[in-house]
Amino acid sequence: HKVNFGISFDFNLDQLQNKALVNFEVKSDSREERPADNKVNISIPVQYDSEIILTRETNIHFYVVDEKKKAKTMVTNYNDIGPELNLTLK
């Protein structure tokens, strides 16, 4: 005998997983000599295509614009444009 199963699952981009675990267990009306034969655990590798993910790292959590300070019109070093901000595009 052949039985087909369709499995659908939702995913959360904040908690991506690299595998889906599926547990099958067959119930029987009779008493089984080896109940473990009626169970199987399957691990299915999954890969997400989440298109574009932007991440950032910075040493401060906010930027303050001081209206009393004159804006730089010429950049002579990296400090003239503000604190370091790293963006990663995947």
> How many angstroms separate the CA atoms of 9 and 49, rounded?
14
**pLDDT for the residue numbered 66:** 72
Least confident of 10-14, 17-21, 46-50: 46-50
Least confident of 17-26, 33-42, 81-90: 81-90
User: Does the pTM of the predicted model rise above 0.85?
Assistant: no
CB 23 within 8 A of CB 38: no
Domain boundaries, the chain: 54-89
Structure tokens at 79: 């400090």
Mean pLDDT of 2-31: 75
> How many angstroms separate the CA atoms of 86 and 59, rounded?
10
